[in-house]
Structures are given as structure tokens and as C-alpha cells.
């Protein structure tokens, strides 16, 4: 489809209808670059031109009005080290419709050989890697490289070799960064040289968790014997499955529920077993557990009524309740967090409905009184997730809960709860093939009501997720 730009000259009252099909920018290879192909049509004669016609050829470079022209732009090889930039301009009469940036790469290269997984012996050894280049280069030692002896020149031109060595390492496994820069001083590669030593590396050094009781598992990479302990042995709200380890293992921490009204903190200490001639290594892990936040509580009174709109059927507000028979309310801008909504009463045929929606994505939380079972699902195109439903007693009130937490990559995990007990979860992170990936912190449109029978709700609550806590307090 051709993009249209129409303009009227105020003085002549002349309209120019210029249409074109082109990208905003192109990146070309230095040698044998692929041609750029455009399409142009206008109500007036048009032309396409660049700023560097000595290395750019445009065919055709101009055309008449009324028909679509296929335009081919070819660039000659770039024999310079640096990239070069041109601008293509599409113009008809006085009107410039588009500027297109074209970047053609230069022929400069700076490659490395034998630079992966460089490791020196604990007893001391030497190593090297090769530089393959057609330009000037330099090597900068990182702040962590004071222990590494580099015997070769730290600057050169063309091909070269970087040689280095280290003496015996009686301490912890150590690393040194060698930063390889191009002729402009820009970083192109970072080579990390490691030397074998005592290793004690927990996968995390800061654990933040919610108030609920849980078992937390943490990978620890080690080549030594080591132990784990509490810095303050009086803090008995967490414990370890075992306290002595050989080599790499999982550290399993059992954490009790936090009954307090504030965050509680502890420090976990990992230590290698002392050995003659070897430095003892110590690592610390900070454990922080949130308290159960006090929820915001809302009854369905007249003030709450003004914040919702009727989306379907009927919704009757009275005495702090809202009754659907059937019907549905809609409200926008619900924040990420943890929700409870209480069903006060319903009839034998009722099907309660609750939707949390973000674009084409939906979390569905329904209860079917007639079938005496939950009816939950997710609307997410291409999702292969299978959801678990459970039975319940429709003769009593029930609390519907939805809890949101953050996945390791910043997306949202949802948990369905009935009367405070979680029974199903779903991560909107694309891992199940679902097209929608919902970032933690997103907002939702919420639909509440029933699709059959009569349902009465009397309150709902919102509590912030522990990820939103002010952990510095």
C-alpha cells in the first residue's frame, strides 16, 4: 500500500497528492549491497534523489504524474573502514514527502579467536587469545583485573595476540575483564579470564518474598565443602533442610508465615570449611519477608455505585450490596494487585462472572451454583494452558480471590483463590504459546456480575502486591 501525503500551497491553491511505499531507514552491507526498492505515484511530476550521487544510482530518478513507478536505488561498494550515511528524498513539485536515511556499513572488522571460556589453573598458568582485525585496536583492563599479568602490548594494528598469566590462587575463584576497543575507543568485545579457586556462588544474594509460609529453593555452585547458618540464631522464623554440603547443591529454606505488621529481615551466611593454605570464603544472602498488607475494603454503597457502569442487564444497589439478575458492571483502571470479592447469596441457577481484561487478554473467574463447581479460564490466543476447576458448596457465601505476582522476567502470574485457598495459576509470559504477554504493573478493565440466575455481592478488597512494598523502610 502506498503512503499518501497531500499538501496545498496557500498561494497557488494547488494540491499535490504524493504517494510512496518506503521504509523510514535502511541498513546496507559494505560489499554487494542489496538494492532498495521504492514505489512512487503523484498528481504531479516527481523525483527521487540522494545527497551522494557519486556512490548512489537511482532508476528511474523521476517520473510523470498519474501512474505508479517502481524505483530501484543501488549503492556501490563501501571500501572505507567507517560506515557512511546518505539521505534519499522523495519530492513532487514543491512538496517533499519523505526523507529516508540509508546507512551503509564500512569494511572494518575486529574479531577474536580462542577467547571463549578462558580459564587459568589454580596453581598458576598462562593463556592467550588472538585478535583478527584490519584496523587499530586497544585493550583496557577492567577494575577486577589487578591480579592478571598481561605481557603483550595493549594496543596494535591489524592482527595481534594478547598473552597473560597469573600466579597461584589461594582464595576465591576470580575473574578479570579485558575490554577490546576499536580505532575509535569504542568497546567491541569483553573477554573474561577466570582462574580456578574456591567457589561458593549462590544464585541469589537477595530474597524478597510475600508473607505466606513457603519453602524456597536456591541453587549454590561450589567446589568445596560448605555450611549454612543464620547470622542471628534467635531468628527462628526460617530454617534449613540441611546445613552441611559438599560441592554444588540446592539450599532449601523453610519460611514461616509473617504475622507481624511490618517487613522482617534476616541474613543467611554461607561459609566454606576451613582448610590449611586456602582462604575461607563467606557469602551472605539477605532474606526479606513482607507482612500481610492491610487491604482496602469497599462495600457496594452509593459512593461505590458512581464508580461502576452497567454493561449488561440489571445491577441493583441497596444496603451496601449489589444484586444482578442477571447483569454486569464495568469499571476501568484496576491496578495490579491482590483482590477479594465476596458473594453474599445467590439462587440455585446462578453463574457468577468476573473478568480482568487487558486488551485481548482476559482472566475469567466464574462460579456455577447449579454444577457446584468453579469455571475458570484464560482468553489468550494460541494458549495451550489447561485449567483446574474445583467443587464447592453453593449454599454458603464465598470469597473469590485473584492474586497477581511478578515472574522472573517481569510478566504477571495469576492465582485463582476460593475462600483464601489457591487452586490454579497461570503465567502470562508467552511460555504456553499465548500471544499476549502481560507486564507486571499493568492495569485492567473489570467486569463483575452474573450470566444466569441472581447473585448478590456485598464487598470487595484490594491489597498491594509485596513487590510494591517500600523495602527500604
Parts of the chain with a pLDDT under 50: 9-11
Domains in the chain, please, with CATH?
3-104 (2.60.40.10), 110-195 (2.60.40.10), 207-289 (2.60.40.10), 296-468 (2.60.120.200)
HSE-CB for 151 with a 13 A CA cutoff: 8
Cβ-based neighbours of 272, under 8 Å, separated by 6 or more:
198, 200, 222, 224, 225, 226, 278, 280, 281, 282
pLDDT of residue 370: 94
Contact 172, 198 (CB under 8 A): yes
Closest CA to 344 of 405, 396, 281, 412: 396
Interatomic CA distance for residues 397 and 372, integer angstroms: 13
CA–CA separation, 345 vs 355, rounded Å?
19
| Phi, psi at 304, each rounded to 5° | -70, -35
**Could you tell me if 352 and 359 are in contact, meaning their C-beta atoms sit under 8 angstroms apart?**
no
How high is the pLDDT of residue 325? 93
Task: Say how many C-beta atoms besides its own lie within 10 A of residue 337's C-beta.
Answer: 20
Sheet of strand 118-120: strand arrangement: 118-120, 187-195, 174-181, 136-141, 155-157
Specify the pLDDT at position 5.
Answer: 52
Q: Quick one: pLDDT at residue 183?
A: 95
- State residue 467 phi and psi, 5-degree precision: -60, -25
Q: What is the 3-state secondary structure (H, E, C) of the chain?
A: CCEEEEEEECCCCEEEEEEEECCCEEEECCCCCCCEEEEEEECCCEEEECCCCCCEEEECCEECCCCCEEEEEEECCCCCCCCEEEEEEEEECCEEEEEEEEEECCCCCEEEECCCCEEECCCCEEEEEEEEECCEEEEEECCCCCCCEECCCCEEECCEEEEEEECCCCCECEEEEEEEECCCCCEEEEEEEEECCECEEECCCEEEECCCCEEEEEEEEECCEEEEEECCCCCCCEEECCCEEECCEEEEEEECCCCCCCCEEEEEEEEECCECCECCCEEEEEEEECCCCCCEEEECCHHHHCCCEEEEEEEEEECCEEEEEEEEEEEEEECCCEEEEEEEEECCCCEEEEEEEECCEEEEEEEECCCCEEEEEEECCCCCCCCCCCECCCCCCEEEEEEEEECCCCEEEEEEEECCEEEEEEECCCCCCCCCCCECCCCEEEEEEEEECCEEEEEEEEECCHHHCCCCC
Give residue 2's pLDDT.
Answer: 58
Tell me the whole-structure pTM to 2 decimals. Answer: 0.64
Of 242, 252, 217, 238, the residue nearest 287 (C-alpha): 238
Based on the number of CB atoms within 10 Å of its own CB, is 297 exposed (0-12), middle (13-18) or buried (19 or more)? exposed
From CA 159, how far away is CA 129, in angstroms rounded?
Answer: 11
Grid cell, residue 32, equals: 554487494
* pLDDT at 21 (0 to 100): 94
Amino acid at each position: 500500500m502506498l503512503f499518501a501525503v497531500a499538501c496545498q500551497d496557500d498561494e497557488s491553491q494547488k494540491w499535490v497528492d504524493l504517494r510512496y511505499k518506503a521504509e523510514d531507514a535502511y541498513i546496507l552491507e559494505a560489499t554487494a549491497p542489496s538494492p532498495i526498492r521504492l514505489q512512487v505515484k503523484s498528481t504531479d511530476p516527481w523525483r527521487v534523489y540522494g545527497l551522494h550521487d557519486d556512490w548512489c544510482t537511482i532508476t528511474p530518478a523521476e517520473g510523470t504524474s498519474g501512474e505508479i513507478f517502481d524505483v530501484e536505488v543501488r549503492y556501490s561498494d563501501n571500501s572505507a573502514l567507517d560506515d557512511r550515511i546518505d539521505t534519499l528524498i522523495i519530492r513532487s513539485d514543491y512538496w517533499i514527502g519523505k526523507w529516508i536515511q540509508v546507512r551503509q556499513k564500512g569494511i572494518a572488522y575486529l574479531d577474536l579467536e580462542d577467547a571463549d571460556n578462558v580459564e587459568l589453573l589454580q596453581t598458576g598458568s598462562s593463556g592467550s587469545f588472538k585478535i583478527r582485525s584490519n584496523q587499530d585496536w586497544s585493550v583496557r583492563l577492567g577494575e577486577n583485573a589487578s591480579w592478571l599479568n598481561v605481557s603483550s602490548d595493549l594496543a596494535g594494528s591489524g592482527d595481534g595476540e594478547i598473552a597473560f598469566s597469573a600466579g597461584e590462587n589461594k582464595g576465591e575463584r576470580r575473574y578479570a575483564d579485558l575490554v577490546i576497543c576499536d580505532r575509535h575507543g569504542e568497546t567491541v568485545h569483553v573477554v573474561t579470564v577466570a582462574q580456578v579457586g574456591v567457589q561458593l556462588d549462590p544464585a541469589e544474594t537477595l530474597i524478597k518474598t510475600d508473607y505466606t509460609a513457603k519453602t524456597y529453593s536456591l541453587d549454590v555452585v561450589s567446589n568445596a565443602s560448605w555450611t549454612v547458618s543464620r547470622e542471628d540464631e534467635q531468628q527462628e522464623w526460617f530454617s534449613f533442610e540441611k546445613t552441611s554440603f559438599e560441592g554444588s547443591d540446592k539450599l532449601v529454606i523453610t519460611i514461616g508465615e509473617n504475622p507481624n505488621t511490618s517487613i522482617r529481615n534476616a541474613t543467611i551466611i554461607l561459609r566454606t570449611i576451613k582448610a590449611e593454605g586456602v582462604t575461607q570464603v563467606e557469602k551472605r544472602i539477605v532474606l526479606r519477608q513482607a507482612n500481610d498488607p492491610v487491604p482496602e475494603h469497599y462495600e457496594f454503597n452509593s459512593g461505590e455505585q458512581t464508580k461502576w457502569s452497567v454493561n449488561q442487564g440489571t445491577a441493583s444497589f441497596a444496603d451496601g450490596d449489589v444484586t444482578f439478575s442477571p447483569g454486569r458492571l464495568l469499571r476501568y483502571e484496576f491496578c495490579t494487585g491482590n483482590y477479594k470479592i465476596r458473594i453474599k447469596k445467590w439462587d440455585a441457577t446462578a453463574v457468577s462472572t468476573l473478568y480482568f481484561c487487558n486488551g485481548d487478554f482476559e482472566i475469567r473467574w466464574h462460579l456455577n451454583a447449579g454444577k457446584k463447581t468453579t469455571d475458570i479460564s484464560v482468553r489468550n490466543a494460541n494458549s495451550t494452558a489447561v485449567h483446574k476447576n474445583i467443587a464447592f458448596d453453593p449454599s454458603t457465601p464465598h470469597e473469590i480471590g485473584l492474586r497477581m505476582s511478578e515472574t522472573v522476567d517481569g510478566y504477571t502470574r495469576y492465582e485463582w483463590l476460593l475462600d483464601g485457598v489457591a487452586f490454579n495459576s497461570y503465567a502470562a509470559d508467552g511460555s504456553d504459546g499465548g500471544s499476549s504477554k502481560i507486564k507486571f504493573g499493568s492495569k485492567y478493565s473489570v467486569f463483575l456480575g452474573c450470566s444466569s440466575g441472581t447473585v448478590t455481592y456485598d464487598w470487595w478488597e484490594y491489597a498491594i502486591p509485596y513487590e510494591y512494598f517500600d523495602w527500604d523502610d
